[in-house]
């Protein structure tokens, strides 16, 4: 398109295009998430940015690996395991305190789309080693876009020569440089000269067709590339969360081999009378992670006043059973009794309508909801919620001799004596749990169906729970849970796992005894803003979220609380180079 008429309008159009290109000048110290966010902000007024205004976030493949939440928009179909997109909060003025916030709340949209990868990326910024190289490439692209038009203007021969010379200098430098250390000493002067030449070229009345086409090309390519790298980074982040490292696998294999080398008499050291004695304090933990499990048990025992009356029943799968057996032969934790059970063998002895398949741990969901009435993917609030897995609902049948148990997740550490839980009067309720009012049942009504419940009731959290097994059996909670799960549509494994959230909330609705929220500090696997006082005063710390303390991706300031209870001087850990 050739612009004619008012030269001011012609200049304004070219300058608008140049402003679009300035996106490329975002400081390279920003992680991909924030780089994309700044580009969004700077291109809101440009035509090519219009697709962002109607943008609808979708969970990435990487998120599907880890989080367990469902959904497809606002329908009743449970679809994706990464998040729940809930309806707007309509509780009234109190819930609308965010109304005045900008429509482009980039942190929220980033977390909604890419999960806690964005939180991690923002806190792990690294200075890029090729920032000046990228700056040279950006200048070169702009100069090439302007050169054909400047060369046609009479009286601009000097500017044309200077522009051509600078283009050639940049090309020569870039053929020899991959990162900033490869650049010549006077590269700063080259960049400054090119800036002046481009500024002079911008002041000339020229045909904007070629410039418009080339700059739109780089803008579109850059947007696509940035989005691709964001998704790829989120996927690799989730892969790092989920994949067992070589060192952990080595430890598992070494312990398994040593188990079969050891005499059978060494393995049978647990007293049967202690395991089934209802007068003891019985703790149940589902775990597939030896280190996480040992830290949870160690912290609970060390902070208990009577560890000789503690029995830990550990349910694990057949792959980890023998390694865990051998680990707890090699290591003792106070006077506590550790009972390792193979869940795959136990479930075959119990009749259930749940087709459990493999043992399921506590399920974690990332739930995104609108904070104001106007729905926009950039105005999403993200909350993290953990509940029991399907396997938990066989406990009442598996432990028929027990009346009460405390359920612990293996991403929990205990900092104070929690034996008082055994003396709690649950008032006829089935389980004691901490409430999580960041998510209320009314927010999830699209997924809970038509069952009667109070919209203002808060969700509850797993982590530390006291369970009255006698009341559980009396009310047939397992049967209720099975019926709810079977009513939900489950066409694949993702939907099967996603069903755990609504089934948990409905099966226990009206049967929750609320524990003091100061008992457990939640969110240490995703929330960077937990205060030091909260960390020190809580009786237990729950690392729910993707950033588990045994991973390199863990939040450093919370990791020290976990490592304090880590088993030391283990030969196989040293040989396998396990150093979380």
Q: Which domains does the chain have, with CATH numbers?
A: 7-56+126-241 (no CATH), 246-575 (3.90.550.10)
Closest alpha carbon to 348 in 359, 362, 360: 359
Using CA atoms, how far residue 215 sits from 105, 140, 456, in Å, is 27, 12, 52
This prediction has a pTM of 0.71
What per-residue confidence (pLDDT) applies to 380?
Answer: 62
The Cα 296–Cα 320 span in angstroms is: 17
Return the SS3 of 440.
strand
The Cβ of residue 59 has, within 10 Å, a number of other Cβ atoms equal to 23
Rounded to 10°, the helix 318-330/290-302 angle is 40
In this prediction, residue 421 carries a pLDDT of 93
Residue 281 is predicted with a pLDDT of 93
CA distance 521 to 537: 9
DSSP-derived letter for residue 262 is: S
Instruction: With residue 216 as reference, give the H or E element that holds it.
Output: helix 209-242
Whole-number pLDDT of residue 564: 94
Per-residue confidence (pLDDT) for residue 208, from 0 to 100: 73
CA dist list (Å): 206 to 190, 199, 314: 25, 13, 75
- Consecutive 10-residue runs of the chain (580 residues): their mean pLDDT? 42 43 36 44 40 34 36 34 42 39 50 78 78 88 86 88 92 87 88 91 79 80 85 85 86 93 67 75 95 96 90 94 93 91 81 71 82 53 87 90 94 95 93 90 74 81 95 94 84 83 91 93 92 93 93 92 92 90
Pairing between strand 404-409 and 412-414? unpaired
| Cα distance between residue 393 and residue 374, in whole Å | 39
Quote the CA–CA distance of 577 and 246 in Å, as a whole number.
Answer: 9
């Amino acid at each position: 398109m050739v612009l004619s008429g008012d030269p001011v309008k012609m200049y304004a159009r070219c300058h608008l295009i140049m402003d679009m290109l300035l996106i490329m000048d975002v400081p390279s110290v920003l992680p991909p998430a924030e780089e994309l966010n700044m580009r969004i902000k700077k291109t809101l007024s440009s035509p090519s940015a219009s697709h962002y205004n109607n943008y609808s976030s979708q969970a990435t493949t990487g998120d599907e690996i880890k989080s367990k939440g469902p959904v497809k928009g606002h329908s009743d179909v449970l679809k994706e395991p990464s998040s729940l997109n809930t309806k707007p909060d309509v509780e009234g003025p109190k819930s609308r305190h965010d109304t005045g916030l900008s429509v482009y709340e980039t942190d929220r949209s980033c977390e909604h789309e890419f999960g806690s990868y964005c939180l991690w990326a923002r806190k792990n910024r690294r200075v890029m080693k090729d920032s000046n190289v990228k700056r040279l490439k950006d200048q070169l692209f702009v100069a090439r876009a302007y050169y054909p038009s400047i060369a046609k203007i009479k009286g601009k021969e000097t500017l044309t020569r200077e522009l051509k010379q600078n283009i050639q200098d940049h090309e020569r430098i870039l053929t020899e440089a991959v990162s900033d250390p490869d650049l010549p000493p006077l590269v700063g002067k080259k960049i400054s000269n090119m800036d002046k030449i481009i500024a002079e070229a911008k002041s000339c009345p020229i045909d904007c067709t070629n410039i418009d086409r080339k700059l739109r090309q780089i803008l579109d390519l850059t947007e696509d590339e940035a989005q691709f790298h964001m998704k790829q980074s989120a996927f690799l982040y989730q892969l790092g969360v989920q994949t067992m490292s070589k060192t952990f696998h080595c430890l598992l294999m070494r312990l398994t081999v040593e188990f079969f080398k050891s005499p059978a008499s060494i393995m049978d050291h647990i007293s049967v009378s202690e395991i089934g004695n209802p007068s003891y304090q019985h703790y149940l933990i589902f775990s597939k992670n030896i280190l996480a499990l040992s830290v949870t048990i160690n912290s609970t025992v060390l902070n208990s006043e009577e560890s000789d009356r503690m029995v830990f029943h550990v349910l694990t799968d057949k792959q980890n059973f023998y390694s865990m057996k051998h680990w707890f032969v090699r290591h003792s934790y106070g006077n506590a009794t550790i009972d390792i059970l193979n869940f795959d063998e136990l479930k075959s002895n119990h009749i259930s309508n749940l087709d459990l398949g493999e043992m399921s741990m506590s399920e974690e969901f990332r739930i995104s909801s609108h904070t104001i009435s106007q729905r926009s993917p950039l105005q999403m609030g993200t909350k993290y919620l953990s509940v029991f897995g399907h396997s938990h609902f066989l406990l009442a049948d598996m432990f028929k001799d027990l009346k009460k148990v405390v359920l612990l997740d293996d991403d929990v550490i205990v900092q104070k004596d929690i034996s008082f839980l055994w003396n709690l009067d649950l008032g006829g309720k089935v389980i004691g749990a901490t409430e999580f009012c960041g998510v209320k049942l009314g927010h999830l009504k699209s997924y809970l169906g038509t069952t009667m419940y109070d919209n203002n009731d808060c969700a509850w959290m797993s982590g530390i729970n006291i369970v009255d097994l006698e009341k559980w059996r009396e009310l047939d909670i397992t049967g209720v849970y099975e019926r709810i799960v079977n009513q939900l549509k489950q066409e694949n494994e993702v939907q099967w796992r996603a069903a755990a959230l609504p089934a948990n909330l409905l099966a226990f609705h009206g049967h929750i005894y609320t524990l003091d929220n100061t008992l457990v500090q939640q969110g240490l696997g995703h929330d960077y803003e937990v205060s030091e006082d909260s960390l020190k005063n809580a009786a237990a710390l729950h690392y729910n979220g993707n950033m588990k303390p045994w991973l390199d991706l863990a939040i450093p300031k919370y990791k020290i609380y976990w490592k304090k209870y880590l088993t030391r001087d283990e030969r196989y850990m040293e040989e396998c180079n396990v150093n979380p």
